Amino acid sequence: MPPLLEVASLTRRFGGTLALDGASFAVPAPGIVGLIGPNGAGKTTLFDIICGRQTADSGTVRFEGTRIDGLAPHRLSRLGFARSFQECRILPEATCLDNLLFASQEKRLWRELAGIVAPPRQNRDHARALLATAGLERFADVAAGELSFGQRRLVEILSTLMAAPRVLLLDEPASGVNPTLLATLHDVLSEAVPRLGLLLLLIEHNMAFVMSLAERVVVMHQGAVLADGTPEEVQQDARVIDAYLG
């Protein structure tokens, strides 16, 4: 059986800058994989290629054995891919509930319009239940822009879970989130990943957060994979300590 997700020898240049230099790793099954490394290591570029926002100069990305690099983002979305970005992206004037309902809609015009007119009751129930997992149920009918930054980040991530993705890529979700809400985010992700049977790829600089959440950690440095192992193995790797953790 092929790996669930396989990245093989990805290379990407921006002018004279080599952002990815033969990056390779494979994930056999659902779970939580942390992606760490210094700024400029190529982590976000890797995400962009997996999600179809950029194309690689060489190399491949395969999902369940089928090559997917070069597919448009909307096609990857229909395969079950979802992601967040370093900046928090929500609909600030819409309620928290409507942010989640919008995220659950299939982005085809006639279906989207039908969902706006009459969102299915099960979607509303699911959205309210998700908000409750993060302690945000009391904000269901409040404009998302009125929430604190950490609460808005939670709404954004809950929105990515609305459609039960198969692969979720989160780019620095802990950035700017206070410790209390960070603990809530940790609990939400820990519960959602096994329940949905999804693969979570997580770019993160908060070492305590990623090491306590991930089952496996991939370390990138200068566009390549420097180390790959359990959190304990990675934290004891002399190359990782020298390049990043030290």
Mean pLDDT of the chain: 92
Q: Are residues 124 and 196 in the same domain?
A: no
Both structure tokens of 152: 């808005």
- Examine the fold and report which residue of 164, 189, 219 is the final residue of a domain before the chain moves on: 164
pLDDT number for residue 110: 47
How confident is the model over 228-243, as a mean pLDDT?
94
pLDDT in tens, 122-143: 789 999 999 999 999 999 999 9
pTM comes to 0.91
Question: What is the domain extent for residue 143?
Answer: 90-164
Query: Residue 106 — pLDDT band, cuts 50, 70, 90?
Result: low
How confident is the model over 191-205, as a mean pLDDT?
96
Q: Give domain status of residue 205, yes or no.
A: yes
Q: Give domain status of residue 41, yes or no.
A: yes
**How many structural domains comprise the chain?**
2
pLDDT number for residue 119: 58
Q: Are residues 178 and 160 in the same domain?
A: no
Q: Are residues 147 and 188 in the same domain?
A: no
99 versus 245: which is more confidently predicted? Answer: 99
Q: How many CB atoms neighbour CB 78 within 10 A?
A: 14
